[in-house]
Amino acid sequence: MVAVPASLEKLCINSIRMLAVDAVNKSNSGHPGLPMGCAPMGYSLWDKFLKHNPKNPEWFNRDRFVLSAGHGCMLLYALLHLTGYDSVTIEDIKQFRQWGSRTPGHPETFETAGVEVTTGPLGAGISNAVGLAIAESHLAAKFNKPDSTIVDHFTYVIMGDGCNQEGVSKEACSLAGHLKLGKLIALYDDNQITIDGRTEVSFTEDVLKRYEAYGWHVQHVADGNNDINSISKAIETAKSITNKPSIIKISTTIGFGSPNKSDTAGVHGAPLGEEEATLTRKQLEWEHAPFEIPQEVYNHYQKAIERGSQLENEWNKKLANYRLKYPDEAAEFERMLRNELPQSWDKSLPSYSSEDKGLATRKHSQICLGALGPNLPELIGGSADLTHSNYTDIQGETGSFQAETRSKRYLHFGVREHAMAAILNGIAYHKSGLIPYGGTFLVFADYMRGSMRLSALSGLGVIYVLTHDSIGVGEDGPTHQPVETIPSLRAIPNMLVFRPGDGNETSGAYKLAVQNRNRPSALCLSRQGMANQANSSIDKVALGGYVLEDCQGQAELILIGTGSELDLCVQAAKKLTASGKKVRVVSMPCVELFEEQSESYKQEVLPPSIRKRLVVEAASGFGWHKYIGLDGDSVTMTSFGASAPGGVCMEKFGFTVENVLSKANSLLES
Amino acid sequence: MVAVPASLEKLCINSIRMLAVDAVNKSNSGHPGLPMGCAPMGYSLWDKFLKHNPKNPEWFNRDRFVLSAGHGCMLLYALLHLTGYDSVTIEDIKQFRQWGSRTPGHPETFETAGVEVTTGPLGAGISNAVGLAIAESHLAAKFNKPDSTIVDHFTYVIMGDGCNQEGVSKEACSLAGHLKLGKLIALYDDNQITIDGRTEVSFTEDVLKRYEAYGWHVQHVADGNNDINSISKAIETAKSITNKPSIIKISTTIGFGSPNKSDTAGVHGAPLGEEEATLTRKQLEWEHAPFEIPQEVYNHYQKAIERGSQLENEWNKKLANYRLKYPDEAAEFERMLRNELPQSWDKSLPSYSSEDKGLATRKHSQICLGALGPNLPELIGGSADLTHSNYTDIQGETGSFQAETRSKRYLHFGVREHAMAAILNGIAYHKSGLIPYGGTFLVFADYMRGSMRLSALSGLGVIYVLTHDSIGVGEDGPTHQPVETIPSLRAIPNMLVFRPGDGNETSGAYKLAVQNRNRPSALCLSRQGMANQANSSIDKVALGGYVLEDCQGQAELILIGTGSELDLCVQAAKKLTASGKKVRVVSMPCVELFEEQSESYKQEVLPPSIRKRLVVEAASGFGWHKYIGLDGDSVTMTSFGASAPGGVCMEKFGFTVENVLSKANSLLES
């Protein structure tokens, strides 16, 4: 490393600080405190360590950088700008937090090239980073050869006190320690200020001791405001520790440089204002106008472009060599990077006829995972300690991803649902073709909802395997019986919520979940068995909803069912037909996909003139009026469940053919 | 303490084990492993330490016991039964997990007297216990006198590996350490087994070191299967440590006594079966038939009845004495225990006219808290580090609940939303009249949803103050802008979701939230200002929805609005009226309360014949078709938001008078 003159380093660091001050002042909104305090560590990391190519932000083998404290996004935008990313020009910075800009109020992957992870909800970023590090180490174990290392990068994080207080980070970092993810390095901005004031009002634990308890390597840099040398040495040491993740606590002053606001909560999330900005310029000896950066600063930072290009070229050569020596592995690796599914990946997904024995859809799900496993090597996932309830294992495979067995693809997340979801997101953010899935009970989707939302917002093709999807759970009782969970998931934009009604629909749901690489899928699966339908098929699931059973001529009544209640509709329809009624049964395994069909198709399935509609779903009916309107009715849940055998619960809460018939007849007579 | 003969202790402990084995076998469902492993600590704690009165489970000054590992409920049911609670007879145990029984699959406060906390979702119970301990120490500081201690009990917890992996427990225990809750004692059942197998597959951190980092006192009992003496000594020591919460790691064998299934995941959540039960009887030298408990065991355990009665009598005497010496405090204390609100508690809740300056409803909320504060001393709460954004402070009060200032009622939860919700639940579970509230951004309701669900399920009157309730958040962008959150909350049974549209409606929402002591309320409040309406009132909020503005004669169109969009409806209605249309505006601050009104009232507000209905709400429209049916329309969100000033977001996403008019006119012309 060539020594950089102290005066230039100071300018480089203050460039970050002043871009943050000026951008937040101009937009009159934002968080200047963190970028001002973290500028030294940001400079040190990005200038001396980060392996990246500003002119190709998508270069695969780059180090990943996650700003877990996403509110400090001006730190990231400043670094992207200064190091020469085309995605963040000085004009973009002037448009900070404005409509349509590439510099939104928190970093968003889908807005700004170079942003690896959408952050803002605290604790999520560091947890995503655990997923990035898992992805890297898994691919390294899978593809690297003794003479050829094509997967090899670090994952760096800057996190704050907030991230360290959030439960999700604690779950994820505990797992990271267990997995000995040696290439994960977190820089902890210890500024001792949160929004409510000094951390001493609520957060006085010994953070590093806690990380030690997780099995991390820990270091402390006492003067993170000035001591670039110590920061750099600590990062160097962290890189050298390969059998443990590392955390470096770097004590800083929030809003460093602001004479009146530094070290106060006031500088966390509010503009400095013109006057204080002037005083800050003075204190930092910064002689430049807003948004004006000295050319020597650009010149220095933008050495990253040459370095990055060189690094990428070297890697390209390595890859070319690898291609020659290991053509099969290279083909697979490059196919994955192209985000291209293998040929015939879905060939083993099973179809069923109504003669086939009815199973629980969680069991069908297990069969699907077993069928996909050999044909879809990029499938990687597991369960939050419910493997033998969720049936998330890939049949025929043994062993799991552990420190010593990193090529394995089964993940034991432990009883850590929220971290699981965040880690699945992290694996997806790695953008290396891996298809992450994870299982828990549907009711515990609540625990990971913060990260499920981010899957949807960031367009990540995560597959959530959510079993025990209704009061059919039975004896475990209302704490374990989802009632409102399905509608709550359906309310999330950009997420596919499947509730398959038999084996074919489960295979179809898996097919669509795998194909949808730019949005998450939630598979809601039963604990209990259900019949296979005569007229379901894998392909029909793509329509979201379709006519499963129909009558001659115009129907008087439409029964709409999903999941384990689909067969109730079919049985009731048979009886109604026998008594001379004209009834149609619509299966609706995915409301969102149905919504995406043409108006004419939707009207074909649910003709506007047929207003007698009855929905049957063992969940809250919230949301179903979109299809039943003011004139329809429903057999749904209006309360929490109860502890009793699943069949008893179903009966007591009205999920019987008799009750469906009774409601249907009332509608027909109305 | 009188020594108990070892042979009798053994019988007492094995009684728990065998009740668990036999109940789970009979119901063919349940979790025998934990009760078998934890029987010694359960016996030791309940027999030697727990201060309770089996014949009056509601006696205020009892120790609180929380089985955080709720799946092990047979441990708790066995202890309740053996110590003489009327709520759990041997017949109840035979009905384990059956419809209508008092012994559901996880402990539920509303089913079984003596169950302090509904548990099952892991991590929740220990976090509730932090709330119980906060409640105890707050009331002790508030009511106890140097010569009179009327509030004085411990909070005991049994937690497992699962609880220790969940993020919520880590948030709560970090805060408990900060707050130095010396009367919180957790027994950690370290059995090294989770559902996926041995904990070594995912959970190898040094748990006690982590708790030390939080500031807890830690101990380890190496042989929790046999060494009653060490367990008891450790509890004794924990009780003597008054300036720190305590955790005692007690190493046990899951399913202890079962020769073939102990120490395996197989005994965690499945019946032993008849054959293994026979072998277990043999191994434990248990000579009794299923559900048969030796009389000497009952005789010994039920000394708790005499002890409890004596303890309660002594306390009653203390209270009588306190009543004489401190009549005012006693009156207040006893009023709180009766769950009775003070006279005129709501007298200062402000009303507004349309002349009054429009404010953000978060600001109105702050005014309400300030108005309630002096008149409602049982109000206790705070924010998850967003005090100055949520405006959750009680104006006129300073200081917060800290180790040295326990009589203060403001809680700094730190950046720990999930723990906040669980702690609020814990305060409510204390059943001492305290009214807990807590604030965060609405979008982060996702982080605490697991515990919000439990507020609803257990019927706890927690008040959630959820500000920044739409894209009106503005610059912070889509990670911070709720879209699906409001419908997701409305989907939860037994929860009131308020979205007030002005000052009167905010006062009304607070009034109802305080009055509803048996269900939670979620107050969704704006960041931005809005006008005060001419025809709103505090009392009308109780109707859930009401006619805010009406036309002469029958309306052609009904506009339905909530929160910050209510005024858009009013403005649009004015323009429509001016152009000769007949329009009604319905304000719907609480859908759930509207649903509870009579059919005739609901039909009066929304006459079935008027099908042209337009809802305006800056959230996902999911759920609104219940009121707009197949023929209405909506101005709602169909995607995530964006980063830009709030007003710009509102405009770009169509929340303008013009757009409402345009949709209204389309409906009128259809």
Q: Kindly report the CATH number assigned to the domain that includes residue B665.
A: 3.40.50.920
b/e string for B562-578 if b means 16 or more Cβ within 10 A? bbbbbbbbbbbbebbee
For chain B, give the longest Cα–Cα distance: 91
**In terms of domains, do A526 and A577 share one?**
no
Q: Which residue has 């326990």 as its token pair? A: B406
**In terms of domains, do B364 and B248 share one?**
no
Q: Assess if residue A327 is contained within a domain.
A: no
Nearest CB neighbour to B475, from listed A27, A203, A412: A27
**In terms of domains, do A155 and A206 share one?**
yes
A441 membership: H or E segment, kind and range:
strand A435-441
Q: Assess if residue A652 is contained within a domain.
A: yes
Task: Work out whether strand A197-198 and strand A193-194 pair parallel, antiparallel, or are unpaired.
Answer: antiparallel
Closest by CA position to B469, among listed B391, B589, B564, B538:
B564
Q: Mean pLDDT across the stretch A261-265?
A: 95
Yes or no: say if A557 and A613 are a contact pair by the CB < 8 Å rule: yes
Find the helix packing angle between A33-48 and A228-240, rounded to 10°: 60
Nearest CB neighbour to B106, from listed A453, A480, A648: A480
- For residue range B145-163, list pLDDT tens digits in order: 999 999 999 999 999 999 9
Q: Assess if residue A320 is contained within a domain.
A: no
**In terms of domains, do B285 and B423 share one?**
no
Q: Mean pLDDT across the stretch B37-66?
A: 98
> Across the strands, what pairs with B467?
B441, B525
How many angstroms separate the CA atoms of A357 and B196, rounded?
Answer: 28
- Compute CA B201 distance to the chain's CA centroid, rounded to the nearest angstrom: 32
Nearest CB neighbour to A493, from listed B443, B453, B638: B638
Structure tokens at B440: 């965060």
**In terms of domains, do A42 and A155 share one?**
yes
Count of structural domains, chain A: 3
Residue of B nearest to A24 (CA): B475
Yes or no: say if B595 and B626 are a contact pair by the CB < 8 Å rule: no
Alpha helices in A63-206 (DSSP H): 73-82, 90-94, 124-143, 161-165, 167-178
Yes or no: say if B458 and A467 are a contact pair by the CB < 8 Å rule: no
Amino acid at residue number A304 = A
Q: Mean pLDDT across the stretch A192-213?
A: 95
Alpha carbon of B335: minimum distance to chain A alpha carbons (Å): 31
**A484 by DSSP, 3-state: which?**
coil
Yes or no: say if B22 and B284 are a contact pair by the CB < 8 Å rule: no
- For residue range A606-635, list pLDDT tens digits in order: 999 999 999 999 999 999 999 999 999 999
Point out the domain boundary residue: A308, A329, A348.
A308
Nearest CB neighbour to A203, from listed B178, B626, B637: B178
Q: Assess if residue A317 is contained within a domain.
A: no
How many angstroms separate the CA atoms of B396 and B632, rounded?
Answer: 47
Contacts B405 to A, Cβ<8 Å = none
Point out the domain boundary residue: B530, B565, B581.
B530
Yes or no: say if B120 and A477 are a contact pair by the CB < 8 Å rule: yes
- Compute CA A55 distance to the chain's CA centroid, rounded to the nearest angstrom: 26
Yes or no: say if B435 and B514 are a contact pair by the CB < 8 Å rule: yes
Q: Which residue has 């993740």 as its token pair? A: A245
b/e string for A222-248 if b means 16 or more Cβ within 10 A? eebbebbebbbebbeebeeeeebbbbb
Query: Which residues of B, range 187-246, sit inside 8 Å of A by Cβ?
Result: 194-196, 201-207, 209-210, 212-215
**In terms of domains, do B572 and B439 share one?**
no
Residue of A nearest to B620 (CA): A491
- For residue range B263-304, list pLDDT tens digits in order: 999 999 999 999 999 999 999 999 999 999 999 999 999 999
Alpha carbon of A402: minimum distance to chain B alpha carbons (Å): 8
Whether A194 and B414 lie within 8 Å, measured CB to CB: yes
Q: Has residue B553 got a pLDDT over 70? A: yes
Nearest CB neighbour to B210, from listed A165, A204, A210: A210
**Per-residue pLDDT band at A639 (split at 50, 70, 90):** very high
Whether B97 and A457 lie within 8 Å, measured CB to CB: no
Residue B417 contacts by C-beta under 8 Å, 6 or more apart in sequence?
A166, B384, B440, B444, B445, B447, B448
Contact status of A273 with chain B (Cβ, < 8 Å): no
Q: Has residue B44 got a pLDDT over 70? A: yes
Q: Has residue A322 got a pLDDT over 70? A: yes
List Cα–Cα distances, A536 to A467, A506, A592, in angstroms.
21, 10, 18
**B1 by DSSP, 3-state: which?**
coil
Task: Work out whether strand A193-194 and strand A184-190 pair parallel, antiparallel, or are unpaired.
Answer: unpaired
**Per-residue pLDDT band at B445 (split at 50, 70, 90):** very high
Closest by CA position to B74, among listed B114, B39, B113:
B39
Neighbours of B439 (CB within 10 A): 32
Q: For residue A518, how many C-alpha atoms fall within 13 Å in the half-sphere facing its CB? A: 4
Kindly name the residue from A417, A565, A592, A617 that is annotated as catalytic: A417
Q: Mean pLDDT across the stretch B386-400?
A: 97
Q: Decide: residue A331, CB within 10 A, 0-12 exposed, 13-18 middle, 19+ buried.
A: exposed
Contact status of A413 with chain B (Cβ, < 8 Å): yes
Contact status of A168 with chain B (Cβ, < 8 Å): yes
**In terms of domains, do A264 and A299 share one?**
yes
Q: Assess if residue B342 is contained within a domain.
A: no
| Test the B interface: residue of A173, A475, A610, A650 with most B CBs within 10 Å | A475
Residue of B nearest to A72 (CA): B476
Alpha helices in B160-302 (DSSP H): 161-165, 167-178, 207-214, 228-240, 274-284, 295-301
How many angstroms separate the CA atoms of A84 and B209, rounded?
Answer: 45
Average pLDDT, chain A: 97
**Per-residue pLDDT band at A403 (split at 50, 70, 90):** very high
Structure tokens at A269: 């999330």
Task: Work out whether strand A529-530 and strand A359-360 pair parallel, antiparallel, or are unpaired.
Answer: antiparallel
Alpha carbon of B157: minimum distance to chain A alpha carbons (Å): 19
- Residue A666's pLDDT is 98
**In terms of domains, do B269 and B120 share one?**
yes
**Per-residue pLDDT band at A1 (split at 50, 70, 90):** low
- Residue A299's pLDDT is 98
| Test the A interface: residue of B411, B413, B415 with most A CBs within 10 Å | B415
Query: Which residues of B, range 557-596, sit inside 8 Å of A by Cβ?
Result: none
| Test the B interface: residue of A385, A441, A606, A650 with most B CBs within 10 Å | A385
Whether A623 and B487 lie within 8 Å, measured CB to CB: yes
Q: Mean pLDDT across the stretch A246-256?
A: 98
List Cα–Cα distances, A434 to A134, A520, B532, in angstroms.
11, 14, 53
Closest by CA position to B442, among listed B587, B576, B619, B297:
B619
b/e string for A397-419 if b means 16 or more Cβ within 10 A? eeebbbeeebebbbbbbbbbbbb
- For residue range B229-267, list pLDDT tens digits in order: 999 999 999 999 999 999 999 999 999 999 999 999 999
Q: Has residue B2 got a pLDDT over 70? A: no
Alpha carbon of A271: minimum distance to chain B alpha carbons (Å): 13
**In terms of domains, do B373 and B262 share one?**
no
Q: Mean pLDDT across the stretch A189-198?
A: 92
Structure tokens at B628: 């707009």
Catalytic residue numbers of B, as ranges = 417
Nearest CB neighbour to A491, from listed B174, B487, B644: B487
Whether B121 and A630 lie within 8 Å, measured CB to CB: no
**Per-residue pLDDT band at B3 (split at 50, 70, 90):** confident
Alpha carbon of A414: minimum distance to chain B alpha carbons (Å): 5
Amino acid at residue number B571 = Q
**B587 by DSSP, 3-state: which?**
strand
How many angstroms separate the CA atoms of A26 and A24, rounded?
Answer: 5
Yes or no: say if A197 and A265 are a contact pair by the CB < 8 Å rule: yes
**B433 by DSSP, 3-state: which?**
coil
How many angstroms separate the CA atoms of B509 and B135, rounded?
Answer: 25
Q: Assess if residue B349 is contained within a domain.
A: no
Residue A541 contacts by C-beta under 8 Å, 6 or more apart in sequence?
A498, A500, A504, A505, A508, A509, A511, A512, A589, A590, A593
Whether A493 and B477 lie within 8 Å, measured CB to CB: no
How many angstroms separate the CA atoms of B539 and B555, rounded?
Answer: 24
Nearest CB neighbour to A106, from listed B27, B456, B476: B476
Q: Mean pLDDT across the stretch B597-610?
A: 98
**In terms of domains, do A51 and A171 share one?**
yes
Q: What is the phi/psi pair of residue B85, to 5°?
A: -70, 135
- Residue A3's pLDDT is 83
Q: What is the phi/psi pair of residue B186, to 5°?
A: -110, 130
List Cα–Cα distances, A261 to A11, A193, A493, A627, B427, in angstroms.
21, 12, 39, 55, 37
- Compute CA B534 distance to the chain's CA centroid, rounded to the nearest angstrom: 36
Yes or no: say if A527 and A563 are a contact pair by the CB < 8 Å rule: no
Q: Mean pLDDT across the stretch B639-644?
A: 98
**Per-residue pLDDT band at B37 (split at 50, 70, 90):** very high
CA quadruple B75, B77, B81, B83: dihedral positive or negative?
positive
Contact status of A404 with chain B (Cβ, < 8 Å): no
B371 membership: H or E segment, kind and range:
helix B361-372
Query: Which residues of A, range 104-123, sit inside 8 Å of B by Cβ?
Result: 104-106, 108, 118-123
Whether A493 and B97 lie within 8 Å, measured CB to CB: no
Average pLDDT, chain B: 97
Closest by CA position to B328, among listed B147, B151, B145:
B145
Alpha carbon of B297: minimum distance to chain A alpha carbons (Å): 29
**In terms of domains, do B496 and B574 share one?**
no
Query: Which residues of B, range 428-467, sit inside 8 Å of A by Cβ?
Result: 443-444, 446-447, 449-450, 453-454, 456-457
Q: Which domain holds residue A618?
A: 544-669
How many angstroms separate the CA atoms of B316 and A475, rounded?
Answer: 40
Q: Assess if residue A336 is contained within a domain.
A: no
Q: Has residue B18 got a pLDDT over 60? A: yes
Alpha carbon of B320: minimum distance to chain A alpha carbons (Å): 38
Whether A479 and B643 lie within 8 Å, measured CB to CB: no
Nearest CB neighbour to B625, from listed A206, A483, A629: A629
Q: Mean pLDDT across the stretch B176-187?
A: 98
- For residue range B405-444, list pLDDT tens digits in order: 999 999 999 999 999 999 999 999 999 999 999 999 999 9
Q: Mean pLDDT across the stretch B192-198?
A: 91
Strand order in the sheet with A217-221: A64-67, A155-159, A184-190, A246-251, A217-221
- CATH no. for residue A190? 3.40.50.970
- For residue range A82-110, list pLDDT tens digits in order: 999 999 999 999 999 999 999 999 999 99
Number of inter-chain CB pairs under 8 A, A vs B: 364
- For residue range A347-389, list pLDDT tens digits in order: 999 999 999 999 999 999 999 999 999 999 999 999 999 999 9
- Residue A2's pLDDT is 64
- For residue range B116-140, list pLDDT tens digits in order: 999 999 999 999 999 999 999 999 9
Residue of A nearest to B492 (CA): A484
- Residue B136's pLDDT is 98
- Residue B1's pLDDT is 54
Percentage above 90 pLDDT, chain B:
99
Point out the domain boundary residue: B266, B292, B308.
B308
Contact status of A368 with chain B (Cβ, < 8 Å): no
- Compute CA A276 distance to the chain's CA centroid, rounded to the nearest angstrom: 39
Yes or no: say if A576 and A586 are a contact pair by the CB < 8 Å rule: no
**In terms of domains, do B469 and B592 share one?**
no
Contacts B387 to A, Cβ<8 Å = 195-196
Yes or no: say if A447 and A472 are a contact pair by the CB < 8 Å rule: no
Q: Assess if residue A337 is contained within a domain.
A: no
Contact status of A386 with chain B (Cβ, < 8 Å): yes
Q: Mean pLDDT across the stretch A119-125?
A: 98
**Per-residue pLDDT band at A5 (split at 50, 70, 90):** very high
**A388 by DSSP, 3-state: which?**
helix
Q: Decide: residue B228, CB within 10 A, 0-12 exposed, 13-18 middle, 19+ buried.
A: buried
Yes or no: say if B113 and B85 are a contact pair by the CB < 8 Å rule: yes
